[in-house]
Amino acid sequence: MIKRFALIGIGIAALAFLIGWRLHKNQVSAAEQSKLRQMRMKAPAVVSVAQATVREIVQTFEGVGSVEAPHDVKIAPKIYGRITYLQVYEGDPVRRGQVLVRLDPSEIQAQVVQQQAALAEAKQRLAQARLTENPNDVSVSTQIRQQEAALHSAEADLNQAQQNYVSQVAAAEAAVTDAQGKVNVALAAVASAQAGIRSAQANLNNAVAKYNRMNNLLKRGFVSQQDADDANTLVSVQQAALDVARGQLNSANAQLSSARAQLASAQHQADIVRTTGKAAVEDARAKVAQAQAALDFAKSNAAQKPAYRANLEALKASVTAAEGLLKNAQAQLANTILVSPLDGFVTGRYMDPGGMAAPGQPILAVQAIREVWVSVPVPEEVSRRIRLGQKAQVRLDALPGRVFLGRVTQINAAADPTSRQFTVRVALDNSQKLLKPGMFARVTMTTERVRTLVVPREAVLDTPQGPVVMAIDARNIAHQIPVRTGLQDPAGIGIEEGLKPGDRVITLSANPVRDGQAVRPALPSGPHGRRTAMEPSRSSVDPKR
């Protein structure tokens, strides 16, 4: 028993010795760790350093705009007429002088023939008068027969003018009646579309009411989620039906506007026909009266020389007037052919063959796009730094990866009253025809270039007193220096005051850096591309003193 207690005592003593030895070892290790912490706290902070260098800072402006054609021409006739030839469509290339549209020339051709006949008759009368200028060679009976023939011709012209007037008025009134019928059809279509909207609106209201009821029943658990979803789908379907009905109404209104325009054009043409026809009839009557007066004059004064001379001058004037009327008719005939004024592409077609064209009403739109413009709005403060002729880069979403170089060709002198921005146009060569009017474009222009002292953006700290940098002197002591910043770009900030070229500034630090603290610049990289100092974070730089 005594031996057993002795062994137990020895085990307890050994255990106590081991515990004491372990506690002593832990105390020694803690003292060493505390000593190492004190050494690290007193060691200089490891920082990343950059030098202030002089380089050029470029300021750019990037805006969005659209591609436009510098020449956009609307092809419209000068006269009324029915379109008989129109073969080009949107996107078709056209050449300068190419015939694009032809109007029905039959009526004007008849006028040309009539004026040619009138001119020939006037010349014949003049020739006859010159042959009979000497009263000794002319007898009264001959003059009377000539004037009688002229009177018969004038009466025939009067009958022809009256017949033409009746037929032209009838044709114009038929065109008016046809246009009125189209207006009535369009009005019926509008009424039908309005009725469709009312029906669709009623169906939508009914579907919304049903959906609300289903939703309330769903909340109370009386119907399934599928029933509520079906009711919601029905609302969407009825809303789409209402949108379709509204589109039909818009289409019907457009047809009504077109029909009314055709009616107005036909009525206007009918008025012109009546006016022109009445004038032609009155002119023919005047010629009859003139021929009658000439016949009376011939009967009474055929032998008088002054009368012959007066008659000769009157016939000369008649020839001149007939020539003028013929030239006017020929000019009207030339106006029935419309040609392209430039090389380009058709970008709009507003009428079709068989339609009635009116003066000033566009039939086609032609744009020249060998060179295009990109119009971009520019703020007022940027517009002052943009000049004519400067280069610009243009990128288009439709052509990813392509960069087009152009020059500023126009700067609007007045700002848009709504946006208060100025329109700048950049001219681009489009010989490859890749750029189309209406494309979305992004324009980049250089607005300012300044050569100045630059430091990395990470080196500038914002404080309540203003921007500062932590500079390092030759003894690796950090100093907080207020600076005045200038222009900046993604790589750095310009320093206008506070530093000089070659000054070293702290960009990153592992520990907070205070004014007057010793630092240790980190080496750029080790032998294997790794930094020799710990990678710091910029947020650890302390701008406080």
User: What share of the chain has pLDDT > 90, as a percent?
Assistant: 13
Residue 323 lies in a domain: no
DSSP assignment letter at 477: B
Cα–Cα distances in Å, from 275 out to 170, 357, 480?
Answer: 14, 19, 94
Question: Where among 393, 420, 448 does a domain terminate?
Answer: 448
Residue 307 lies in a domain: no
Q: Is 138 or 187 the better-scoring residue by pLDDT?
A: 187
Residue 275 lies in a domain: yes
CATH number at residue 521: 2.40.420.20
| Whether residue 148 is found in the same domain as residue 290 | yes
Average pLDDT value for residue range 148-165? 83
| Whether residue 506 is found in the same domain as residue 464 | yes
User: What share of the chain has pLDDT > 70, as a percent?
Assistant: 88
The token duo for 487 is 């222009």
Tabulate helix, strand, coil % of the chain (nearest 5). Answer: 50, 25, 25
End-to-end Cα distance, the chain: 76
Band (540; pLDDT cuts 50, 70, 90):
very low
The separation between CA 199 and the C-alpha centre of its own chain, rounded to angstroms, equals 38
Band (536; pLDDT cuts 50, 70, 90):
very low
Residue 124 lies in a domain: no
Q: Is 488 or 406 the better-scoring residue by pLDDT?
A: 406
Q: What is the pLDDT of residue 534?
A: 36
| Whether residue 437 is found in the same domain as residue 391 | yes
Residue 174 lies in a domain: yes
Check whether 4 has a pLDDT greater than 80: no
3-state secondary structure of 337: strand
In the block, residue with structure tokens 């000769």: 312
| Whether residue 242 is found in the same domain as residue 288 | yes
Q: Within 13 A of 227's CA, how many CA atoms are on the CB side?
A: 13
The token duo for 208 is 């919304």
Band (38; pLDDT cuts 50, 70, 90):
low
| Whether residue 297 is found in the same domain as residue 154 | yes
| Whether residue 469 is found in the same domain as residue 527 | yes
* One-letter amino acid of 411: I
| Whether residue 152 is found in the same domain as residue 225 | yes
Q: What is the pLDDT of residue 134?
A: 56
Q: What is the pLDDT of residue 141?
A: 65
| Whether residue 240 is found in the same domain as residue 371 | no
Band (404; pLDDT cuts 50, 70, 90):
very high
Residue 374 lies in a domain: yes
Q: CA nearest 293: which of 135, 151, 152? A: 151
* One-letter amino acid of 339: V
Average pLDDT value for residue range 110-114? 85
CA distance 229 to 299: 104
Residue 134 lies in a domain: no
**Cβ atoms within 10 Å of 337's Cβ, excluding its own:** 14
Question: Where among 313, 348, 366 does a domain terminate?
Answer: 366
Q: What is the residue-averaged pLDDT of the chain? A: 82
Q: What is the pLDDT of residue 484?
A: 92
Residue 221 lies in a domain: yes
Band (147; pLDDT cuts 50, 70, 90):
confident
CA angle 476, 479, 481 (to 5 degrees): 140
| Whether residue 533 is found in the same domain as residue 464 | yes
Q: What is the pLDDT of residue 37?
A: 61
* One-letter amino acid of 253: N
pLDDT digits (tens, 9 = 90+) for 190-241: 888 888 888 888 888 888 888 888 888 888 888 788 887 888 888 888 888 8
The separation between CA 468 and the C-alpha centre of its own chain, rounded to angstroms, equals 47
Band (105; pLDDT cuts 50, 70, 90):
confident
CA distance 471 to 318: 103
Is the CB of residue 112 less than 8 Å from the CB of residue 326?
yes
Q: What is the pLDDT of residue 224?
A: 82
3-state secondary structure of 110: helix
Q: Is 6 or 355 the better-scoring residue by pLDDT?
A: 355
Question: Where among 448, 468, 492 does a domain terminate?
Answer: 448
DSSP assignment letter at 391: E
pLDDT digits (tens, 9 = 90+) for 296-323: 776 665 555 666 677 777 878 888 888 8
Q: What is the pLDDT of residue 108?
A: 83
DSSP assignment letter at 219: H
Which of 247-261, 290-304, 377-391 bottoms out in mean pLDDT, i.e. has the lowest? 290-304
Q: What's the pTM value of the predicted model, to 2 decimals?
A: 0.43
Is the CB of residue 340 less than 8 Å from the CB of residue 75?
yes
Query: How many domains, in total, are found in the chain?
Result: 5
Cβ partners under 8 Å of residue 405, min gap 6: 391, 392, 393, 394, 428
| Whether residue 295 is found in the same domain as residue 400 | no
| Whether residue 151 is found in the same domain as residue 296 | yes
CATH number at residue 410: 2.40.30.170
CATH number at residue 352: 2.40.50.100
Average pLDDT value for residue range 369-395? 88
Average pLDDT value for residue range 41-56? 81
Gyration radius of the chain over CA positions: 49
Per-residue DSSP letters for 236-285?
HHHHHHHHHHHHHHHHHHHHHHHHHHHHHHHHHHHHHHHHHHHHHHHHHH
Band (443; pLDDT cuts 50, 70, 90):
very high
Residue 442: domain span: 66-74+367-448
Check whether 62 has a pLDDT greater than 80: yes
| Whether residue 346 is found in the same domain as residue 257 | no
Which of 94-103, 318-327, 421-430 bottoms out in mean pLDDT, i.e. has the lowest? 318-327
Q: Within 13 A of 531's CA, how many CA atoms are on the CB side?
A: 13
Cβ partners under 8 Å of residue 61, min gap 6: 378, 382, 386, 444, 445, 447
